[in-house]
Copies of this chain bind each other. A is one copy, B any other.
Amino acid sequence: MSQRLQEPSFLILSSLAGGAKHGYGIIKEVQELSAGAVSMKVGTLYGALDRLAAEHLIEVDREEIVDSRLRRYYRLSADGAVLLSTEATRINTQANVALRRLRVAGMHP
């Protein structure tokens, strides 16, 4: 049953763990956090947002109109927090295993 998240979905949940945000705000944050390295595509984002909401991992927090433009804010749900927690722990372990092995093999600084 254990759900698996791909990177973009993981990053969305992670972004929302820092507080409710609207779509465009998530894109900006992901870009900043990765120092411009990762640019999430709009198609990916809004598609993922719909899917995550359908799975009750995120919820619509509120909607605002700013300068005649809609902002739909999402927040992390309780289920989403649990999933993000278990997933983050899991991939953290996996990353550490990889780094340790590379070090032992002399392939990592």
- On A, residues with C-beta under 8 Å from B are 2, 4, 6-7, 10-11, 13-14, 17-18, 33, 37, 76, 81, 84-85, 87-89, 91-92, 94-99, 101-102, 105, 107-108
Q: Are B14 and A97 in contact (CB under 8 A)?
A: yes
- Docked Cα-Cα span, A75 to B104, in Å, equals 15
- Docked Cα-Cα span, A2 to B95, in Å, equals 17
- Could you jot down 17 A-B contacts, CB within 8 Å? A6-B6, A7-B91, A7-B94, A17-B107, A76-B107, A81-B102, A81-B108, A85-B98, A85-B107, A87-B98, A88-B96, A88-B98, A91-B94, A92-B92, A92-B95, A92-B96, A92-B99
